[in-house]
């Protein structure tokens, strides 16, 4: 599946009863909070669970990198469209959700934070209006 198809798929993600109420500015604030959360998890797990710490750094870097390049409030270089950002959010959510399995700690306590973040990301993706104009 190419990124254009993934971006189109993001437009169709809906959760019954969840309105598309998150605009670009709100989404940016959530993104920077998520990046901070992942980097905080990396610091927390650093001395005791290297795989979880590494996965947290990977996810934090993904979120922060996409933020920096997105054409929305808070974006620095504005090379990625907001709808394309949505497609990349799907990739990042999958990384968070599948990462513990792929890195061999799916049943460890530390995996729960990644599963929770992945589920939260799906909710944000579903509630974001990917075609809203930045205020």
Q: Mean per-residue pLDDT for 103-131? A: 96
Question: What is the CB neighbour count within 10 angstroms for residue 45?
Answer: 21
> How high is the pLDDT of residue 18?
83
What confidence tens digit (pLDDT) does each residue in 40-84 have?
A: 999 999 999 999 999 999 999 999 999 999 999 999 999 999 999
First to last CA, the chain: 32
- Listed in sequence order, the residues at least 6 apart from 73 whose beta carbon sits closer than 8 Å to its beta carbon are 24, 25, 28, 134, 135
């Amino acid at each position: 599946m190419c990124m254009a198809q993934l971006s189109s798929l993001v437009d169709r993600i809906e959760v019954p009863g969840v309105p598309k109420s998150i605009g670009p500015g709100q989404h940016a604030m959530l993104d920077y909070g998520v990046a901070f959360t992942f980097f905080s998890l990396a610091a927390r797990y650093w001395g005791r669970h290297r795989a979880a710490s590494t996965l947290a750094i990977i996810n934090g870097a993904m979120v922060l990198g996409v933020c920096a390049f997105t054409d929305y409030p808070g974006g620095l270089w504005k090379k990625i469209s907001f709808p394309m950002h949505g497609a990349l959010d799907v990739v990042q959510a999958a990384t968070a959700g599948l990462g513990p399995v792929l890195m061999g700690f799916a049943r460890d306590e530390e995996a729960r934070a990644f599963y929770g973040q992945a589920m939260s990301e799906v909710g944000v993706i579903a509630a974001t209006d990917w075609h809203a104009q930045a205020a």
